[in-house]
Amino acid sequence: MPGLEDLYREIILDHYKNPRNEGIFPTPPALKAEGHNPLCGDELTVYLLLEGDVIKDIRITGQGCSISRSSASLMSVAVKGKTLQEVDRLLKIFKSMMSISTNSSGEAEVVDPVEYSERELGELIALQGVVKFPVRIKCATLSWNTLVQALEDRAS
């Protein structure tokens, strides 16, 4: 059985206790999407300020466990100032890192494995250990899925 330290890295606990980019933005101009994990009741709202195809700023509110909160915080840092293309690449890398053969719900979420360097991931790599705890993968991916939703809502 993997140990707690695989899951709760120091960076994670830090982002959990001191979440970055917490708060809200008025909409408009901000884009907004709400995500929730029906199994555990976690709820997140993501606000995005775009400038052209750059995420100029981001705010996140909600409630959730240490993994979902810290993942949201880590994501906010990772995507801030990035172009949408760069964000898309990060998303693919992150999902690839989170993918296992069957996740706990047995969903065959087909994730294309992506080649990436640790450098590209930056602090996000702290979440790598989550894969060993399949139930928690949904916690780690909630904020990313909500981000995607905010961007998709804009597209439509």
Partner 1 sequence: MERMNTLGVKTRPLIVSEIRKDFPIFNQHDGKKLFFLDSAASSQKPVQVLQAMDHYYSTTHANVHRGVYHIAEHATELYEGARATIGRFVGAPNPSRETIFTKNATESINLLSNSLTRGTLKKGDVVVLTEMEHHANLVPWLMAKEQFGIEIRYIMVDENGYLDLQNIDELLQNAKILSVSLTSNVLGTINPIRRLADLAHEHGAIAIGDGAQYVPHLSTNVTDLGLDFLAFTGHKMLGPTGIGVLWGKSELLESLPPFMGGGDMITDVRLDGFTPNELPWKFEAGTPPIAEAIGLAAAVDYLENLGMDAIRDHELELLSYAFESLESNFGKDLVIHGPRNVNDRGGVISFDFKNIHPHDISQVLDQSGVCVRAGHHCAKPLMRHLGIAATARASFHIYNDRSDVDALVDALAKARAFFG
Residues that bind partner 1 (CB under 8 A): 1, 3-4, 7-8, 13, 16, 36, 38-43, 63-67, 69, 102, 104-108, 133-136, 139
Q: Least distance (Å) from partner 1 to the CB of residue 131? A: 13
CB closer to partner 1 out of 24 and 39: 39
Nearer to partner 1, 66 or 128 (CB): 66
- What angle do helix axes 134-155 and 84-98 make, rounded to 10 degrees? 160
Q: Nearest distance from residue 53's CB to partner 1, in Å?
A: 31
Q: 42 or 47, CB closer to partner 1?
A: 42
Burial 110-132 (b: 16+ CB within 10 A, else e): eeeeeeeeeeebeebbbbbbbbe
Of 77, 43, 37, which is closest to residue 62 (Cα–Cα)?
Answer: 43
Q: Using CA atoms, how far apart are residues 135 and 35, in angstroms rounded to an integer?
A: 17
* Rounded-to-integer distance, Cα 105 and Cα 141, Å: 14
| Shortest reach from residue 39's CB to partner 1, in Å | 6
| Nearest residue (CB) to partner 1, 53 versus 109 | 109
